[in-house]
Amino acid sequence: MCHLPAARLGRGCQCGQFMLALRNIQEKTMRWIVLALTLTPGLALGDIYRWVDGNGAVHYSDTPGLSTAEPVQLHTVAPAKPRTETAAAPALTDREAADRLCRDRLAREAKASLAAERDPAPSRDCTKARNKLALTKAQWERKSRRGYRQSDKIKFENLIADWQLRAQQSCN
């Protein structure tokens, strides 16, 4: 007989015993699910009782526990009504919708240009020049720690001066 742990370890089952075992598990599971579903509506239709014990604790149950148990009235809430579009806003024609979109876009662009005038962001060239300058300086510091040739020093000094000039021109 094939057992599930043996099948998990990679040992094959003969004559489809694994599939039979799996089918039996599925059938048992389905039986329990069907049984639970058939009993659930009966529980939901029963009364609910409330009582307070001697210590002052409030209890709820589907069976009256004490003679002082009172049935509890449950209130149901009606589902919300769906909104209708006619109540929210009148339908627009294609021309009106296009005009509204155009006005909204122009308003956003005007707002963005005012913000750019107040606080101009650095241009792409400015950002690139500053990044290249920082990178070149870092490369020169690493190279100078290890030792360098005179030609390397001249090369890096020229590169740094060039990126400084580009940063000044593009950022101002």
| Residue 142 pLDDT greater than 70, yes or no | yes
Task: Look at residue 10 and give its three-state secondary structure.
Answer: coil
Q: What is the DSSP letter of 56?
A: S
Token couple for 54 = 């001697």
Residues forming a β-bridge with 70: 50
Domain segments of the chain as ranges:
4-71, 124-171
| Burial class of residue 164, CB neighbours in 10 A (0-12, 13-18, 19+) | middle
pLDDT (tens digit per residue) in 84-128: 655 555 667 888 888 888 888 888 888 877 766 665 667 788 888
Is residue 4 very low, low, confident or very high in pLDDT (cuts 50, 70, 90)? low
The Cα 8–Cα 22 span in angstroms is 12
The Cα 138–Cα 55 span in angstroms is 76
